[in-house]
Amino acid sequence: MKPKTKQSPKSIVREIKQKTRRKFNSEGKIRIILEGLKGEDSIAKVCRIEGIAPSMYYKWSKAFLEAGNHHFPELNLVHLLVSLIDIFLDSLLNEQIVVVLLVK
């Protein structure tokens, strides 16, 4: 039987945090950034829903807006533009539905 090595509580906590840490891929980051850019909800609310700190959102947003596709190599510009157009059309469609319902 191996003797257990005693770890400090700090190292145990650090190890648990590293193993349970959420990792976002580029598509997930862009989805969250675009959700914040839509302006329907506050950045704080978007961050709460996604379970990230607002500072993380602003880091991703800054990197995205400054460097564009360089920091998000998995996505090409065409995919990004299609995502932006989809979000715009969805919000436009939602506004049209509301207007039609109000007119009726």
- Give the percent of the chain with pLDDT over 70: 73
> pLDDT confidence of 11, banded at 50, 70, 90?
confident
CA–CA separation, 15 and 82 (whole Å): 40
User: What phi and psi values does residue 31 have, to the nearest 5 degrees?
Assistant: -60, -45
Domain boundaries of the chain, sorted by first residue: 25-103
pLDDT at 96: 65
pLDDT at 49: 93
Q: For the chain, what is the mean pLDDT?
A: 78
Q: Count of CB atoms within 10 A of residue 19's CB?
A: 7
CA–CA separation, 70 and 84 (whole Å): 18
* Higher-pLDDT residue of 69, 79: 79
pTM over 0.75: no
Q: What is the pLDDT of residues 39-56, one digit of tens each?
A: 889 999 999 999 999 999
Neighbour-count burial of 71, counting CB atoms closer than 10 A to its CB (0-12 exposed, 13-18 middle, 19+ buried):
middle
CB neighbour list of residue 46: distance below 8 Å, 6 or more residues apart: 32, 35, 36, 57
Among residues 61, 3, 53, 7, the alpha carbon closest in space to that of 35 is found at: 61
pLDDT of 75 above 80 = no
pLDDT of 92 above 80 = no
* Higher-pLDDT residue of 86, 28: 28
